């Protein structure tokens, strides 16, 4: 007459620069989990399919202009509108793999060098979102990243910007309490990176707590 309580899913986040291989590794991990029979969902931020996502897409492709603060909050809203569904999935035992999250949100905006937009300010709207159970930072120099086929035409896809983003990622991770980061050397081959990611994922035991905790202030 034992009651079976199914374990919740784990929230895995991969962060990094453009061209660091995040999306390929998320896809690999997703396929791997599926082939193991795990229930898994893949989420990418920004989610360009929603109405906030349309605004973000127009901004990134240069079709629309936005105040720096305003677009920042829209990126954050794009996560907040998804978080209920993510937490319900986690509670029902689905693992969720997330390609970019709050950390990108804070550092890309802070990297714009708008003196009114500090890293602290940029982090604030993320407070209260779910904390990842497992956080990866794919580290690659902006020069090595640029060698991978060059940057595209979207806003932020410039080497100078990417280099500031990389510095800010490291600053943010150093300053955040209670968020453990697994830094992965993303300049290596897909296979080497995948092997690293997998060994870290396999070494992670499911959290016994019912829900993951929240992101806190800087």
Binding residues among 120-149 for Mg ion as defined by CB under 5 A: none
Determine, following the binding rule CB under 6 A, whether residue 46 of this chain makes contact with ligand FDM: yes
89 binds, among Mg ion, ligand FDM, none (CB under 5 to 8 A by kind): none
Please answer whether residues 15 and 101 qualify as being in contact, where contact means their C-beta atoms are separated by less than 8 angstroms. yes
In the complex with ligand FDM, which residue's Cβ is closer, 8 or 22? Answer: 22
CA distance 176 to 208: 23
Determine, following the binding rule CB under 5 A, whether residue 18 of this chain makes contact with Mg ion: yes
| Segment lying near ligand FDM (by CB under 6 A), choices 25-33, 99-107, 189-197, 198-206 | 99-107
> Given candidates 19, 100, 131, 164, which one binds ligand FDM under the rule CB under 6 A?
100
The sheet with strand 40-44 has its strands ordered as: 40-44, 95-99, 11-16, 134-139, 181-185
| Signed CA dihedral, 120, 96, 202, 190: sign only | negative
CA distance 106 to 168: 9
Q: Which residues bind Mg ion (CB under 5 A)?
A: 18
Q: Which residues bind ligand FDM (CB under 6 A)?
A: 18, 45-46, 60, 75, 100, 104-105, 108, 156
């Amino acid at each position: 007459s034992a009651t079976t309580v199914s374990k919740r899913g784990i929230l895995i986040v991969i962060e990094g620069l453009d061209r660091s291989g995040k999306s390929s590794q998320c896809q690999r991990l997703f396929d791997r989990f599926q082939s193991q029979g795990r229930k898994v969902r893949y989420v990418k931020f920004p989610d360009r399919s929603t109405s906030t996502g349309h605004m973000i897409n127009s901004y990134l492709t240069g079709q629309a202009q936005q105040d720096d603060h305003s677009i920042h909050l829209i990126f954050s809203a794009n996560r907040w509108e998804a978080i209920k569904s993510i937490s319900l999935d986690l509670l029902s035992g689905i693992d969720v793999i997330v390609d970019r999250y709050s950390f990108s949100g804070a550092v890309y905006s802070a990297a714009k060098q708008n003196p009114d937009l500090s890293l602290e300010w940029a982090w604030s709207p993320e407070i209260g979102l779910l904390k990842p159970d497992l956080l990866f930072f794919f580290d690659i120099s902006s020069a090595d990243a640029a060698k991978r086929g060059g940057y595209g035409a979207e806003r932020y896809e410039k080497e100078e910007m990417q280099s500031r983003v990389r510095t800010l990622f490291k600053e943010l991770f150093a300053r955040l309490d209670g968020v453990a980061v697994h830094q992965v050397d993303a300049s290596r081959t897909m296979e080497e990176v995948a092997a690293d990611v997998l060994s870290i994922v396999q070494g992670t035991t499911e959290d016994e707590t019912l829900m993951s905790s929240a992101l806190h202030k800087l």
